[in-house]
Amino acid sequence: MNITDFIKKIETEIDEFEAGTLNPDTDLRKTTAWTSMHALIIIALIDTEYNVTITGEDLRTITSIEDLYNIIQSRIAV
């Protein structure tokens, strides 16, 4: 797993994000397309792909895709 693949997966899963528009610094919640429904889609994606649970609290604290990626990495490692 690397962050480029992770970003591609998000862009594939969420139609509102065109391929190539997201980068590690992107704060998903500050994008114009973001709605609360996307939180569930991201959680389901991460659960299915990496078997990692992301909580509501996690989503409130992160400010970039990289933050989210690091959370996943740390939980896979455990």
Partner 1 sequence: MAYLTIENIQLSAIAACVPKNRESNAHYDWISEKERDLLIKTTGIEYRRIAPKQITTSDMCFASAEALINELNIDRKEIEVVIFVSQSPDFFLPATSIILQDKLQLSKTTMAFDIQLGCSGYVYGLSVISSLMNNGKFKKGLLLVGDKSSFSPSKKDKSTYPIFGDAGTATLLEYDPFAQKMDFNLQSDGSGYKAIIIPDGGMRNPYSDESDKMIETSPGIIRNRKNLMLDGIEVFNFSLREAAPNIFNLLKYNKTEINEYDFFVFHQANKLMNESIRKKLKVEPDKVPYSLQKYGNTSSASIPLTIVTELADKLKNSKAEVILSAFGVGLSWASAALTLNKLKCLPLIEIE
Nearer to partner 1, 54 or 65 (CB): 54
Give the footprint of partner 1 on this chain (CB under 8 A): 16, 35-41, 43-44, 47-48, 53-56, 59
Token couple for 48 = 């299915």
Token couple for 34 = 């973001």
Minimal distance in Å, beta carbon 75 to partner 1?
Answer: 13
Residue 70, H or E segment = helix 65-77
For 10, counting Cβ atoms within 10 Å of its Cβ (0-12 exposed, 13-18 middle, 19+ buried), the class is buried
Nearer to partner 1, 4 or 44 (CB): 44
Minimal distance in Å, beta carbon 40 to partner 1?
Answer: 5
Q: Is the CA virtual torsion 11, 50, 54, 37 positive or negative?
A: positive
Minimal distance in Å, beta carbon 1 to partner 1?
Answer: 18
Nearer to partner 1, 9 or 24 (CB): 9
